[in-house]
Structure 1
Amino acid sequence: MTLSPATRLLPRTYQPLFAHVEFRRLLPALAASDLGDGMSVVTVAWLAVLIAPGDQSGLVVGAAVAAYALPGAVGALVFGRLLRRLSPQRLLAADSWLRASLLGCVPVAWAAGVLHPVLYVALLAGSSVLHAWGSAGKYSLLARLLPPQQRLAANALISSSTSASVVVGPALAGFLATVVSPAWIIGLDAVSFAALAVQAARLGTRAEAVATAVPIDTGRSAAGLHLLRRQPELLGVLALTWFFNFLYGPVEVALPLHVTDDLHSGASLLGLYWTLFGVGAVLGALAAGALRRLPLWPVTLGIVVGWGLTLVPFGLGAPASVSVTCFALGGLIYGPFTALSFTLFQDRTPAAWLTTVLAARGAALLTASPVGTALGGPLTAVMGPRQVLAASGVATIALAGVAAAVRTWGKRRTCARPSGDL
């Protein structure tokens, strides 16, 4: 297939992806939904403040933010028997339609004057129930539509879209909120998911043909756990990612306090930290596509070590100019991690089980960062923000060391087994 002039401007790693018409159609819709979610980072909490009773804003904001994410873990477990029988294309469409429908009710209820906090939280919770399955469907669909050698590049593009939405989405939401209510901006998020649902349905016969060519899991959920027990590498990737996200959680608490208490600065400096981190993460995610020829596990562990090292200077009393640079570098180093993690799962998981395993992965990881964030509050109160940032970095470096040791031990144990022992 002849590439368009715009496609020729892309790095060679990504050019082959655009020879697949299904991928070319899906990517803009995925980017639009990422941008919608990026805007909702601001608008979900902002609207909660506007509709909360006078002295209950904190409670309503906390409930709204949690409802927009955490029910996905419940949905991954409760609906497993039903949803794991669906093709990845239909899982992605089902999650997108649900989010579009319920999020779309928010501006309607706002305009009608009936958006009570309980209704708002219920709509947000309902919209996220299938999100772990939707994410699993998305990455399973990519694995089925593209050859193995192109998966990392595709995952890198999807990951860079997510990272870019964290930079662009909140800024765009802030601009739009000067003109319209945040309820209408959530409505735009709903529209973006409706567009994704339509595009998923339009992928055509090839997506369905590839899906039906793969046997569908009809066993029990316990069989998925049995598969993971027989795939120590998958368990290792999941455990590493969980603890990596867990140790990141305290950073979200400690960094704002470091800016105010240690650096005696304000929101502009905090925004600079996160903006440069986001830009670095986008560039790092795009660079992941060039890592296909490298061994994925060592690179993944190197990313964990690198992120930890960028946090250590905070504990040494580094000036703002140095710590901002380190945080931007941290984003660049962290950027490829998500793409590499998903690629490891796609490469090591049997196709029939991929959506089930990825949904379980998503459900487990939904708990990691919130638990770390909850722990970050007490730790910061006891140790101070600068020390918490450094401790998070040191613990992350130690995590990579433990993971490397466990992996080495596991490989030696496997090599020592008789050849007939599975």
Structure 2
Amino acid sequence: MSTETSSRETNRSYRDVLRNRHLAGLLLGDLLAGAGTGMIIVAMPVQTLAIHGDVPKAIAIGLVEAAPFILSTLLALAIGLGRVTIAPRVLLIADCLFRSVTFTVLGALALTGRLTLPVLIFGLLAGSVFRMAGSSSRRLLATSLAGESGQFAVNGLLGLNATFALYIVGPVLGGLIVATTSAGVALVCDAAGALILLAAVLLAVPRSSREASSEERGAGAGRGVRGVESGWRILRRRPVAARLLVVEFFFNFLYMPIEIALPLYVRDRLDADASALGLMWGALGLGAFAGAALVNQLRNLPQRHVLIAIVGLWAMCPIALAFVDDLTPALVVFALGGLVWAPFTPVAYSFLQSGVRPEEQQQVVTLWTTGSTVAAPLGLLAGGPLIELAGSVRGLVLSGVLTLMLLPIAAMAVLRRTPHYGEARR
């Protein structure tokens, strides 16, 4: 029996895994923190447009959106390649502390009118150093609390949290806050969310013996003893997972110009304000919430085929959006896009983790997160000049067309089976 089939048969439901009070507490903290982060999805481009100065608007937004990924990518790569070993709990705590301090300072500067574009970029650069490693650590801690049979459900619940907080509650509240007060208030709210997650980690996730052994291996590696195996070497033994990572990289890369185009599209094409931008992200979130809620129902379907279908269906969203010039149909299109997009990440992570030994999880998941997430700053840096030259509407079309071109490549890469994948579980 294949690993993929056996994992589907043993998957537990959302309700089953939420009976674990420690896991439920961690997920609640993640949900509340995500709402704060969702606010700055709206607040950050608005704040950037207010202080961009002589820097072109699309370029300024791209630089600000890319800044949090630079240092965090370097740290996550070091962990994923086995060069650095830090316990997941420690990484997540550090991320919460750095984020809370950074956004408190940035929010205070914005409220007092002293925030400049270079200060904002530098603050995001330094304050997000643990961002990527913290993200993978949150997933590792949650799935470890649920056990192997709960991995699919936990990945789905993390996706449910992200869609509800990041794209429904957070953006809507962020749009209202920005419209009625200022973007600086939303930045402070994100700092408060990081503190809530910190409290949840400290209360719900005990310092386990597994973490202690992880720290000991890291100390041993520093003394010249052989450390943990590189996540890349592990992935090379699982060619389908490695190819899927490449697909996810380009899927995310081609999406990122949409984040730059959207605030300009809302302002110029829809002739609307920040609250409408919040509604757009909220619509995406409503659709994504419905899609994430259905993830657990997808466990009996071939996961590879589900992933390929998502790529093709999502590509139609930005193309359709480009032909809309009214807010209401734009909200409907973005909601449908969220519906088909939401299952991609939880299904991909479940597929990945089902073929990885417990001692390999941190390196592989961190490297995978890094490889898929590093597409964001690269896509933003490329998307800024692209949107500046092509405009928001043509930029949306180009994003969708290029994603459609990825579809046959993704199908050949992911649907091609290999007998080596999942051998570690046998």
Give the TM interval when normalised to the shorter protein.
0.7 to 0.9
Matched letter for residue 277 of structure 1: L
Which whole-Å CA distance do the structure 2 matches of 1:203 and 1:209 have between them? 15
Decide whether aligned partners of structure 1 residues 97 and 83 sit closer, same or farther in structure 2, where only a CA change above 3 A counts: farther
Counterparts of residues 96-107 of structure 1 (less than 5 Å): 96-107=96-107
State the partner residue of 1:4: none
Higher relative contact order (CA 8 A, sep 6+): 2
Secondary structure of 1:144 counterpart: helix
Q: Given that residues 70 and 366 in structure 1 are in contact (C-alpha distance below 8 angstroms), is that contact kept between their aligned partners in structure 2?
A: no
Equivalences, count: 400
1:249 aligned onto 2:256 = yes
Same amino acid, percent of matched pairs: 27
TM-score scaled by structure 1? 0.79
The range that moved more, 377-386 or 293-302, is: 377-386
1:27 aligns with 27
Counterpart of 1:202 in structure 2 is 203
Paired residues for 1:303-314 under 5 Å: 303-311=310-318, 313=320
Relative distance call for 1:253 and 1:120 in structure 2 (3 A) is closer
Q: TM-score, normalised by structure 2?
A: 0.78
- Indicate the residue corresponding to 2:174 in structure 1: 173
Give 5+ residue unaligned stretches, structure 1.
1-11
Residues 174, 278 of structure 2: 8 Å contact kept:
no
TM-aligned CA deviation for residue 53 of structure 1: 8.2
Q: Give the letter for the 1:136 counterpart.
A: S
- Please report how far the alpha carbon of residue 386 of structure 1 lies from its aligned counterpart in structure 2 after TM superposition: 5.7
Report which of the two structures shows the higher radius of gyration computed on alpha carbons.
1
Q: Structure 1 counterpart of 2:197, which letter?
A: L
Q: Which residue of 1 aligns with 2:40?
A: 40
Q: Provide the alpha-carbon RMSD of the alignment.
A: 3.8
Partner residue of 2:192?
Answer: 191
Q: Deviations over 1:192-234 (max 9, x none)?
A: 21221222122254x6145457895755688332222222122
Instruction: Provide the C-alpha distance between the structure 2 equivalents of 1:56 and 1:385, rounded to a whole number of angstroms.
Output: 17
Report the equivalent of 1:346: 353
State the alpha-carbon separation in 1 of the partners of residues 324 and 97 from structure 2: 48
Q: How does 1:175-324 map to 2 (within 5 A)?
A: 175-177=176-178, 180-205=181-206, 208-209=208-209, 211-212=211-212, 218=221, 219=226, 223-253=230-260, 265-267=270-272, 273-311=280-318, 313=320
Match of 1:367 among 367, 370, 374: 374
Aligned partners of 1:180 and 1:384: how far apart in 2?
A: 30
> By how many angstroms is 1:129 displaced?
0.5
Deviation string 1:319-372 (CA, Å, 9 cap, x unpaired) is: 867765443222101111111122222222232232222222333333324433
Unaligned 5+ runs, structure 2: 1-11
Contact 1:73 1:132 (8 Å CA) reproduced: yes
Deviation string for 1:216-268 (max 9, x for gaps)?
A: 5755688332222222122122111111112223434556676788xx54227
CA contact (8 A) 2:231 2:363 kept: yes
Which 10-residue stretch deviates more, 349-358 or 52-61? 52-61
Quote how far apart the aligned CAs of 1:26 are.
0.8
Q: How many angstroms apart in 2 are the aligned matches of 1:408 and 1:199?
A: 39
Deviates more, 1:168-177 or 1:239-248: 168-177
Partner residue, 1:8 = none
* Larger deviation, residues 15-24 vs 251-260: 251-260
Indicate whether 1:405 and 2:406 are aligned: no
Counterpart mapping for 1:386-405 below 5 A: 389-405=396-412
Q: 1:257 to 1:182 in 2, by over 3 A?
A: closer
Q: Secondary structure at the match of 1:411?
A: coil
Q: Aligned pair in 2 of structure 1 residues 274, 354: CA closer, same or farther (>3 Å)? A: same
